[in-house]
A and B are shown apart, each in its own frame.
Chain A
């Protein structure tokens, strides 16, 4: 069965630095991959989607890469701010009826 792995340990970085989060998947060939942000006590919020034929996608301070050979996606937040502190979930997918989420990586940005 498919397996999605995100670093379960929290990532602690200093304000202004670039945060890099990793999502690895196995036994799966997704056509796209999504990233979501989740704050404590709230539902996830969609951030970015990257398709299998796209190597990189950017949105403001966010950048996502998708390497189908390595079966990996990297999520970067540049010039990180304390307000970026949250848990980030990756979700590879193929269609509208099968979504698989990783368990998320907690990011702590210290001022």
Chain B
């Protein structure tokens, strides 16, 4: 398995607070992605990165920002958490040689 870790694995936070989720990979993959997974909606792409400092929006990017200052780290920030952002967040990477993605274990975020 690709070495992808996510931290924290679980978090409970209050509405209005900022939250940062971290994705760390040891595979030197070029592409990194953040998804959220909700019942009935499947995985939806929030943001992705195609290189250090190169990022772009996915289909559900409102209320989220990302940063990638190193190849191995991709941070997802909820600027002011809302209850609608309660979800399971997955990070994924791809080496660019093929299209397959390698997923991290996920972070369960609850916004109260």
**Known A43-B105, A45-B103, A97-B56: A103·B42 in contact at CB below 8 Å:** yes
List the B side residues contacting A91 at CB < 8 Å: 43
**Known A43-B90, A43-B104: A96·B43 in contact at CB below 8 Å:** no
Q: Is B64 part of the binding interface, using a Cβ–Cβ cutoff of 8 Å?
A: no
List the A side residues contacting B59 at CB < 8 Å: 100
For A41-82 the 0/1 string (1 means CB < 8 A from B) is 111111001000000000000000000000000000000000
List the B side residues contacting A101 at CB < 8 Å: 35, 42-44
At the interface, is chain A mostly helix, strand, loop or mixed? loop
List the A side residues contacting B48 at CB < 8 Å: 97
At the interface, is chain B mostly helix, strand, loop or mixed? strand
Docked-complex contact B100 and A49, CB < 8 angstroms: yes
Cα distance A91–B31 when bound, in Å?
17
Q: Is A99 part of the binding interface, using a Cβ–Cβ cutoff of 8 Å?
A: yes
For A1-40 the 0/1 string (1 means CB < 8 A from B) is 0001000100000000000000000000000101000000
Give B53 Cβ to nearest chain A Cβ, in Å. 16
Cα distance A34–B92 when bound, in Å?
15
Docked-complex contact A43 and B99, CB < 8 angstroms: no
Cα distance A34–B102 when bound, in Å?
12
Q: Is B101 part of the binding interface, using a Cβ–Cβ cutoff of 8 Å?
A: yes
Docked-complex contact B99 and A102, CB < 8 angstroms: no
Docked-complex contact A42 and B96, CB < 8 angstroms: no
List the A side residues contacting B90 at CB < 8 Å: 43-44
In the A-B complex, the 5 residue pairs with the closest CB atoms: A43-B103, A103-B42, A101-B43, A46-B100, A101-B42
Task: List the interface of chain A (C-beta within 8 A of B).
Answer: 4, 8, 32, 34, 41-46, 49, 89, 91, 93, 96-104
- Give 12 pairs: A residue, B residue, CB < 8 Å, sorted on A: A4-B42, A8-B40, A42-B106, A43-B106, A44-B43, A46-B101, A49-B98, A89-B43, A96-B94, A96-B99, A99-B45, A100-B59
